[in-house]
């Protein structure tokens, strides 16, 4: 059993850990596999050239090939509706709102870099940035790789205050990650250092801090007077937003194999929808944590050993009565929020968050396939294969998308930002960021913000 990223994230490059490629010990399960993810140098010996002497008879594959996505012929040439872009003054949680579904935002119409600032510790052998920044009342709040919370002016990136919340009690291999959320003048912080805290958004002064039994690698979600976090042993914890007192705990099946990155719950009304490393997507009552329904976004593929990692690492999105979420094991699903019934699913392995908008859902597959699917049926309009026909060293790991000012924006671990036509997937513009990122951009007041792996914040106008 493997806990990816938790048994020593320092021993592998972050790019490999994030895409599940650190699971080299599973190579024996997939020696003859056909992977959807980019090929890696660890999985068994190189193939030998076939002998010139071929035995007679029909060749029948012992293992069936993995299912691949293709556009639906019935949708060829069919148009779909997208909402008009709307301005946003705040981005209080990593997904933009508590439903984790923003729709279409006004941001970066010129698509050029306005400014960039070094704002904190980035990715290193022992540090990891796990969540994007958030925006509230004209300020950007972020958690860097060493549990330092910083407040920046959203207009120019100048630092306003910084609070160090790290706990220096010797080495802790899980003391990394976490994130921030903003609500009503308060910054809520979760951390791999095993705590959840609240800070005054104006000064950075600590208001309360509670110790958690396990590290928290994902950002909190704040809604209805409660703070929701998911720790690394798959506990969904609810705390009182004013005092930090524990409200309730929900424990699903614990899964020992998980991704290094982590997710955040989505909330609508009295329902909290949480993703877990087991592939379970669970809706619980916000009042008491009682479970309402469960769906399992898991598809074990005998051709792909990496499908054994079932983690839902991206945030679920609640949109127009449906929940959209995708797992590393290869299921993008649409689930009815009220009943928990699966409406449709697609075979797509993913670690980022889906983006529903209007008639469609956009989703980035782990192998670099950006998919546009019909929101009501799951039929595929188009697929943009970003790594198609590229040699291994040129392939990129992509994050996103975000729909901003009529373009789909995605970023890569090699510092590339692409703007695509949301109706066709055709590339419209390419912007070099100068630093890679695994975080989906955020937006507010007409600007797009990218938190790079080196600790830089890049504003795009």
For the chain of 461 residues, list the mean pLDDT of each consecutive stretch of 10: 39 38 37 35 35 44 57 96 98 97 97 94 73 94 88 96 80 77 97 94 97 92 97 94 98 72 91 94 97 88 60 94 94 97 96 96 95 98 93 89 98 96 97 92 97 93 97
**Could you say which DSSP state residue 105 is in?**
B
Whether the bond into 401 is cis, omega within 30 of 0: yes
3-class DSSP state for residue 268? strand
What does the pLDDT read at residue 181? Answer: 98
Query: What pTM was computed for the model?
Result: 0.85
**b/e 56-89 (16+ beta carbons within 10 angstroms → b):** eeeeeeeeeebeebeebeebeeeeeebeebeebe
3-class DSSP state for residue 157? coil
DSSP letters of 301-328?
Answer: -TT-GGGG-----SPPEEETTEEEEE-T
20-175-350 Cα angle (round to 5): 25
Give the Cα separation of 209 and 196 in Å (integer): 6
**b/e 230-256 (16+ beta carbons within 10 angstroms → b):** bbbbbbbbbbebeebeebbebebeebe
Closest alpha carbon to 362 in 302, 440, 246: 440
A 10 A CB-CB count for 31 gives 10
Q: In the chain, count of helices (H) and strands (E)?
A: 1, 32
Give the Cα separation of 391 and 411 in Å (integer): 19
- Within 8 A by CB and 6+ apart from 145, the residues are 120, 121, 122, 123, 124, 127, 128, 129, 176, 455
A 10 A CB-CB count for 342 gives 16
What does the pLDDT read at residue 258? Answer: 63
Give the Cα separation of 43 and 297 in Å (integer): 26
A 10 A CB-CB count for 344 gives 17
CB 201 within 8 A of CB 182: yes
What does the pLDDT read at residue 13? Answer: 36
What does the pLDDT read at residue 108? Answer: 97
Walk me through the domains of the chain, giving residue ranges and CATH numbers. Answer: 9-46+62-460 (2.130.10.10)
Closest alpha carbon to 335 in 358, 314, 319: 319
What does the pLDDT read at residue 169? Answer: 62
Q: Residues, the chain, total? A: 461
Q: Beta partners for 372?
A: 362, 382
- Within 8 A by CB and 6+ apart from 269, the residues are 286
Enclosing H/E stretch for 195: strand 195-200
What does the pLDDT read at residue 412? Answer: 95
Residue 115 CB-density burial (10 A; 0-12 exposed, 13-18 middle, 19+ buried):
middle
CA 355 to chain centre: 11
DSSP letters of 9-49?
Answer: GGGS-HHHHHTTTT-GGGGGGSTT---SSPP-TTSSSPPPP
What does the pLDDT read at residue 145? Answer: 75
């Amino acid at each position: 059993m493997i806990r990816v990223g938790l048994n020593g994230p320092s021993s592998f490059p972050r790019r490999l850990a994030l895409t599940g490629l650190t699971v080299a010990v599973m190579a024996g399960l997939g020696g003859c596999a056909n992977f959807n993810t980019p090929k890696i140098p660890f999985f068994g010996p190189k193939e030998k050239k076939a002998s010139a002497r071929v035995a007679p008879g029909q060749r029948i594959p012992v293992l069936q090939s993995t299912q691949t996505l293709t556009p639906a012929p019935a949708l060829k040439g069919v148009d779909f509706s997208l909402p008009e872009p709307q301005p946003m003054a705040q981005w209080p949680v990593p997904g933009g709102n508590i439903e984790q579904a923003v729709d279409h935002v006004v941001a970066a119409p010129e698509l050029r870099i306005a400014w960039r600032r070094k704002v904190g510790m980035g990715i290193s052998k022992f540090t990891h940035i796990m969540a994007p920044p958030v925006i509230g009342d004209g300020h950007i709040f972020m958690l860097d790789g060493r549990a330092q919370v910083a407040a920046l002016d959203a207009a120019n990136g100048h630092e306003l205050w910084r609070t160090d919340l790290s706990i220096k009690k010797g080495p802790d291999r899980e003391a990394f990650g976490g994130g921030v959320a903003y609500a009503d003048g308060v910054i809520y912080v979760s951390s791999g250092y095993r705590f959840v805290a609240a800070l005054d958004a104006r000064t950075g002064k600590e208001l309360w801090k509670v110790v958690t039994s396990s590290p928290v690698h994902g950002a909190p979600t704040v809604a209805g007077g409660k703070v929701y976090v998911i720790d690394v042993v798959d506990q969904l914890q609810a705390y009182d937003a004013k005092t930090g007192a524990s409200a309730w705990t929900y424990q699903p099946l614990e899964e020992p194999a998980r991704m290094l990155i982590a997710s955040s719950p989505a909330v609508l009304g009295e329902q909290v929808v949480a993703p877990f490393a087991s592939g379970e997507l669970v809706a619980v009552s916000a009042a008491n944590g009682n479970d309402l329904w469960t769906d399992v976004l898991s598809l074990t593929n005998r051709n792909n050993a990496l499908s054994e990692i079932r983690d839902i690492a991206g945030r679920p999105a609640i949109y127009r009565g449906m929940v959209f979420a995708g797992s590393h094991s290869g299921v993008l699903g649409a689930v009815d929020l009220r009943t928990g019934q699966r409406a449709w699913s697609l075979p797509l392995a993913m670690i980022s968050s889906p983006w529903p908008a209007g008639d469609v859902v956009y989703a980035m597959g782990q192998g670099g396939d950006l998919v546009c699917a019909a929101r009501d049926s799951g039929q595929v309009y188009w697929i943009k294969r970003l790594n198609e026909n590229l040699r291994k060293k040129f392939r990129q790991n992509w994050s996103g998308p975000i729909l901003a000012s009529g373009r789909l924006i995605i970023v890569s671990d090699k510092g590339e930002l692409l703007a695509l036509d949301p109706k066709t997937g055709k590339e419209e513009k390419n912007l070099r960021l100068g630093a890679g990122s695994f975080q989906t951009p955020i937006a507010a007041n007409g600007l797009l913000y990218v938190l790079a792996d080196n600790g830089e914040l890049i504003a795009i106008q």
